[in-house]
Amino acid sequence: MLYGYTPFRGKMRQKTFANILHKDLMFPRSTEVSLQGKQLMHRLLHRDPKNRLGSREGANEVKQHPFFRGINWALVRCMSPPAIDAPISEEKETSVDPGLDDLQTLPLSILGFWAVW
């Protein structure tokens, strides 16, 4: 949701499945996302379900992640969704993956995941 597409999308369904199993998670440089946001994505997309964020304490574990610091979850339930002002495009996206020049890979040690592996 932070980038507008799945990081493992392939041209065909089988390629998407292969990417999920083997492709490293990469972040486009064109959209700035905080370190906490990248950490959250790494934890939610961890290949081992036993070590994935939320696997131990469910949604509460996810809500406690630093990315969500400052969110009052009790109030979120009472909020109305924001209006969508952007027009919906009829064009289909032709690019499957962003160009390699637009991507950066961060080692997990930089993201602080040595404790979960």
pLDDT digits (tens, 9 = 90+) for 57-95: 999 999 999 999 999 999 988 888 888 776 666 555 544
Of 96, 115, 102, nearest to 26 by C-alpha is 102
Cα gap 43→41, rounded to integer Å = 5
Burial of 59 (0-12, 13-18, 19+ CB in 10 A): exposed
For 12-50, what is each residue's pLDDT tens digit? 999 999 999 999 988 888 888 999 999 999 999 998 999
Q: What letters, b where the CB count within 10 A reaches 16 and e where it falls short, cover 67-90?
A: beeeeeeeeeeeeeeeeeeeeeee
**Threshold 0.95, pTM exceeds:** no
**How distant, in Å, are the alpha carbons of 10, 20, 68 from that of 13?**
7, 11, 32
For the chain, the residue count is 117
Report residue 66 as tokens.
């630093």
